[in-house]
Amino acid sequence: MNFKIAILPGDGIGPEIIGQAVKAIDAVCHKYGHTVNYTYGIVGAAAIDACNDPYPEATHRICLDADAVLFGAIGDPRFDNNPQARIRPEQGLLKMRQALGLYANIRPVSIFPTLRHRSPLRQELIDGVDFVCIRELTGGIYFGRPQGRSEDGQTAFDSCVYTKAEIRRICDLGFNYARNRRKKLTVVDKANVLATSRLWRETVQEIAPAWPDIEVEYMFVDNAAMKLIQQPKHFDVIVTENMFGDILTDEASVISGSLGLLPSASVGLHTSLFEPIHGSYPQAAGKNIANPVATILSAAMMFEYALRLPEEGNKIRQAVANTLQQEIVTEDISGNGKAYGTEEVGDAIARLILTDN
């Protein structure tokens, strides 16, 4: 098969970790006889520097023309530390999600047995953890209008806005995932305070009868945040709105032992996008210490979700698991053992893909 992949390295450690994922993609395509063509685009701070636009039209066309998009990270401290900046790298991410219609972010959370000791939670709490967070990605407070500041600069405001159609669309996806898993759906909201959350709950109650085999529970976001730590095995599929999902999925990522281990997929109306859940980690850029595993596992999700090649995706996962078992890991999960560089980990995973790992 022939594939067209859009590559958006982005900022910070983005180019380094994307480079290792490309090695894994090349290796699995070589093993299975596929041909892949890459087209690179700029996004985030790199795009602002080049053309004063965090998501240029040329990059958008590259994404639309691809079978899938592999994305690194966005963010730069030059903008983080300047509250007056009118253009920010993160605006490119929001613009990209909206332009590509990426309304659902899917983040699986599970534990690598060889890394249980790296989790901050006790082993008995995390053994068997396996759930999926489905986050609505193009609505809510990140996109709601009006948004801005008063003329005197003394007041700022953001609007959280949702329609029933947006809620129904993401929740139908959540029900579908639950049906193919353990048939339990947790809807996370703040319905005791927020009108948008009450609309979420009302909409789910309307559509739930169409899914009689799915157990549905409703949970306030503060309770969900606590339960993720106290009883992470409680969850099967979580569906929630944009900002709650942003926070909860980052919280859930530490259960595995490192933010550098978890991949994600963003799916919707056009080309699907695959990315690690962590940020640009600018302090590590160029030092060959960033963990590439989450990006490589995002490439595995790309084979499974976008290219419909589960065997190839599983081959990447097996290679990752074996490098972890062999303790070929970066410093964030090495503990007192030897820490390998970003390039070394990427090379080891590619090498194992090409062999019977």
130-136 and 184-189 strand pairing: unpaired
Residue among 301, 292, 281 at smallest CA distance from 349: 292
Residues 6+ apart with CB under 8 A from 113: none
208: which DSSP letter? G
Q: What's the sign of the alpha-carbon dihedral 273, 277, 279, 283?
A: negative
DSSP β-bridge partners for residue 71: 8
347 is catalytic: no
Q: Is 246 a catalytic residue?
A: yes
Among candidate residues 222, 233, 287, 338, the one labeled active-site is 222
Catalytic hit among 55, 142, 177, 281: 142
CB 192 within 8 A of CB 220: yes
Which residues, including other chains, have CB under 8 Å from residue 170's CB and lie 6 or more apart?
103, 104, 134, 136, 239
One-letter amino acid for residue 166 of the chain = E
Question: Where is 143: in which H helix or E strand?
Answer: none
Q: Which member of 26, 80, 250, 347 is catalytic? A: 250
Rounded to an integer, what distance in angstroms lies between the CA atom of residue 72 and that of residue 59? 14
Q: Which of 76, 103, 162, 190 is an active site residue?
A: 190
Residue 250 is a catalytic residue: yes
Sign of CA dihedral 146, 148, 154, 155: positive
Task: Give yes or no: 190 in active site.
Answer: yes
Q: Which two tokens stand for residue 275?
A: 């990315």
Strands 68-73 and 273-276, bridge-based pairing = parallel
Supply the angle between the helices 310-325 and 342-354 in degrees, to the nearest 10: 130
Residue from 89, 90, 85 nearest 49 by CA: 89
Which of 271, 275, 270 lies closest to 301, judged by CA? 275
Dihedral sign computed on CA atoms, order 173, 244, 320, 255? negative
The active-site residue out of 246, 281, 305, 315 is 246
Catalytic site positions: 142, 190, 222, 246, 250
